[in-house]
A = this chain, B = another copy of it.
């Protein structure tokens, strides 16, 4: 019985490790996709796209591990919620990876023309998004609801960046419509980053539910 429990704990630790590994990979993808944008570096953008396969594979590995744990260990209460939350989180991280790919695709497209302007807010917003991914996954492995709740304020900041970037670029396009093909992808990139932030708050909500058994999803924050 004790042996079985030890085995179970080891498997849960493995789940932690896989989630953190996957998180590290998408943080890097976000960073590199925006670096590719800043430097008009088509090669770097291409690398982000290629590395997404590895992220996808990790999601499948996590799914398999969770299904196996559910089938063989009949976990209860917090352990059951930890495992089902792990599956959900893996799916959120995978989608964050897809959004980094979306940014890289725009960076690739933009690398063929001169940048519209030196980028300021997009790199800051990307840094915020990376920080949020890190915090969200940290709150999961530490089962720390307070840490997860810290994400709400960051999400508001991300929304602010998105609106700021949107308004500035619409102003530029309106003044000079020849800039549209270079401005529109930047508007979309700000939206991709905002969706990354949004996924991290989904993770945060799941963590609070896991720890406190309290549903805060869809409740006013």
How far apart are the CA atoms of A174 and B218 in the complex, in Å?
40
Q: How far is the CA of A23 from the CA of B53 in the complex (A)?
A: 31
Q: Could you tell me if A174 and B180 are in contact, using CB atoms closer than 8 angstroms?
A: yes
Q: Is the CB of B60 within 8 A of A217?
A: yes
* Residue pair B181, A170 in contact (C-beta under 8 Å): yes
On chain A, the number of residues with a Cβ less than 8 Å from chain B's Cβ atoms is: 33
Copies of this chain per assembly: 2
Asked if A173 is at the interface of the complex by the 8 Å CB criterion, the answer is yes
**With the chains together, A57 CA to B218 CA distance in Å?**
8
Decide if A74 is an interface residue (CB 8 Å cutoff): yes
Known: A70-B84, A88-B91. 16 other contacts (CB 8 A): A53-B218, A57-B218, A59-B217, A60-B217, A60-B218, A66-B84, A67-B80, A67-B81, A70-B80, A71-B77, A74-B74, A84-B84, A87-B87, A170-B180, A170-B181, A173-B173
What are 28 of the A-B contact pairs (CB < 8 Å)? A53-B218, A56-B217, A56-B218, A57-B218, A59-B217, A60-B215, A60-B217, A60-B218, A67-B80, A67-B81, A70-B70, A70-B80, A70-B84, A71-B76, A71-B77, A71-B80, A84-B84, A87-B87, A88-B88, A88-B91, A91-B91, A170-B181, A170-B184, A174-B177, A174-B178, A174-B180, A175-B177, A184-B187
